[in-house]
């Protein structure tokens, strides 16, 4: 209900033309910051009485700034930084609007490089925002990933937020409020988003993705489309082996906590640590998908739950271990390890540390 209230108040402010020039949503993970920013942005540029049902979030006067990896074609990227990943970005937000920064970076490129928002991207965005609106009478810029701004880039961005072009609004999204530059923070209204409740998951996710008149029961689309189209969990041998290894890790973590036996945790960490970086990243991405599906099952959100084990594993029996209390911690753990892989962390040390932390979050309080 809190999300509905926040959105309702902001929409009312837009209607009354009292919306702040810059609003920053603090989304600690899976709280819909990008979705809310896109919804409000569309509401402004489409100037409709009701929120838009445009699930692609594409409009010529709605602009985006987000972290990217430097691709192999560096010269081509440097010539058009703001549009190089545009088609991939549109696919991501139309299918994975509640995805994380790490999911986006892995969705956009498999190259093993860190993601960041670059000076060139900001400069190109500023040039576009200084032009007249194309179709609307206003312009909106969604800046997703303030955590990925270096100070020199942030200072350039600060100038346009301080003195924005006429009829331009900014919606910023950051994961960690402490990492927001103080100068940007002081010029924005900060809204810390609460965790998504069941009603929001059932209503907001389903309605905004498929439209108010649609029903998931009669739709071929599923939670895999909403959250993990890029993972494409199909009946293939690599996916079957990945799931089997994940299940082994779940069992070894359980034994470590409940019986004090860490033998299998050590064995699993060695096996994980021997994987290539690409395979290890796929393992963590699968883990995010698995934990999300377990959460939907445990919270009774049947409309968004769809999981079919390739190893006859009963996710229904495991699901109670994933609760509102530890869901955010679990997702954050996987995302951090994806980040560490991109930072070239030692795989064997990383996987052992991951399994110990995973055991503690998942089973210690249960």
Q: pLDDT truncated to tens, each residue of the chain (366 aa)?
A: 677 889 899 999 999 888 989 999 999 887 889 999 999 999 999 876 555 556 678 999 999 999 999 988 889 898 888 889 999 999 888 878 888 888 898 888 878 888 899 999 999 999 999 999 999 999 999 999 998 988 788 888 998 998 889 899 999 999 988 888 888 988 999 999 987 665 555 444 444 333 333 333 333 333 333 334 333 433 467 788 999 999 999 999 999 998 999 999 999 999 999 998 888 988 998 998 899 889 988 988 776 777 888 888 989 999 999 998 898 899 889 988 988 887 888 998 999 999 999 999 998 865
Going from the C-alpha of 260 to that of each of 222, 351, 352, the distances in angstroms are 39, 19, 16
Residue 216 falls within a domain, yes or no?
A: no
Structural domain range at position 262: 236-364
Q: Say whether both 193 and 319 belong to one domain.
A: no
State the helix-helix crossing angle for 277-298 and 101-108, rounded to 10 degrees.
130
Same domain, yes or no, for 80 and 192?
yes
d(CA 270, CA 348): 6
Are 78 and 32 part of one and the same domain?
Answer: yes
Q: Is 96 exposed, middle or buried (CB count within 10 Å of its CB: 0-12, 13-18, 19+)?
A: buried
Residues 175 and 260 in one domain: no
- Confirm whether 224 is domain-assigned: no
The helix/strand/coil state of 230 is: coil
Measured CA distances, 129 to 62, 65, 161, 169, 194 (Å):
10, 12, 11, 10, 31
Distance CA 66, CA 68 (A): 7
In a shared domain, residues 177 and 246: no
Residues 190, 267, single domain; the answer is no
Assess whether 194 and 249 both reside in one domain: no
226 falls within a domain: no
Say yes or no: 114 and 172 in one domain. Answer: yes
What CATH number should be reported for the domain holding residue 78?
3.40.50.300
Indicate if 203 and 240 belong to the same structural domain. no
Per the structure, the count of domains in the chain is: 2
Q: Across the chain, which distance is largest between two alpha carbons, in Å? A: 66
Same structural domain, 39 and 142: yes
Does residue 7 share a domain with residue 146? yes
Domain match, 199 and 250 both: no
């Amino acid at each position: 209900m809190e999300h509905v209230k926040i959105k309702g108040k902001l929409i009312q402010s837009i209607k009354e033309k009292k919306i702040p020039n810059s609003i920053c949503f603090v989304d600690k993970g899976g709280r819909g910051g990008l979705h809310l920013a896109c919804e409000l942005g569309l509401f402004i540029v489409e100037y409709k009485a009701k929120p838009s049902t445009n699930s692609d979030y594409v409009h010529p006067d709605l602009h985006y700034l987000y972290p990217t990896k430097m691709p192999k074609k560096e010269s081509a990227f440097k010539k058009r930084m703001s549009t190089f990943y545009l088609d991939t970005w549109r696919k991501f937000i139309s299918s994975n609007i509640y995805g994380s920064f790490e999911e986006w970076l892995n969705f956009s490129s498999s190259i093993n490089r860190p993601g960041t928002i670059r000076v060139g991207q900001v400069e190109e965005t500023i040039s576009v925002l200084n032009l007249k609106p194309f179709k609307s009478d206003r312009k909106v810029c969604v800046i997703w990933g303030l955590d990925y701004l270096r100070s020199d880039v942030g200072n350039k961005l600060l100038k346009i937020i301080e003195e924005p072009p006429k009829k331009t609004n900014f919606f910023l999204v950051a994961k960690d409020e402490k990492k927001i530059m103080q100068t940007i923070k002081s010029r924005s209204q900060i809204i810390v988003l609460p965790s998504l409740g069941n009603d929001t998951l059932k209503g907001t996710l389903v309605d905004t993705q498929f439209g108010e008149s649609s029903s998931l029961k009669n739709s071929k689309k599923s939670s895999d489309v909403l959250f993990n189209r890029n993972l494409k969990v199909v009946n293939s041998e690599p996916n079957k082996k990945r799931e089997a290894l994940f299940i082994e890790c779940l069992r070894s973590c359980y034994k470590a906590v409940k019986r004090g036996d860490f033998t299998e945790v050590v064995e699993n960490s060695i096996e994980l640590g021997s994987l290539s970086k690409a395979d290890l990243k796929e393992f963590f991405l699968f883990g995010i998908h698995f934990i999300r599906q377990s959460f939907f099952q445990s919270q009774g959100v049947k409309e968004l739950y769809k999981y079919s084990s390739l190893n006859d594993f009963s996710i229904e029996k495991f699901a109670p271990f994933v609760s509102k209390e530890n869901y955010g911690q679990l997702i954050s753990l996987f995302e951090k390890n994806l980040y560490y892989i991109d930072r070239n962390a030692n795989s064997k040390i990383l996987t052992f540390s991951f399994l110990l932390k995973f055991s503690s979050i998942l089973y210690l309080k249960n």
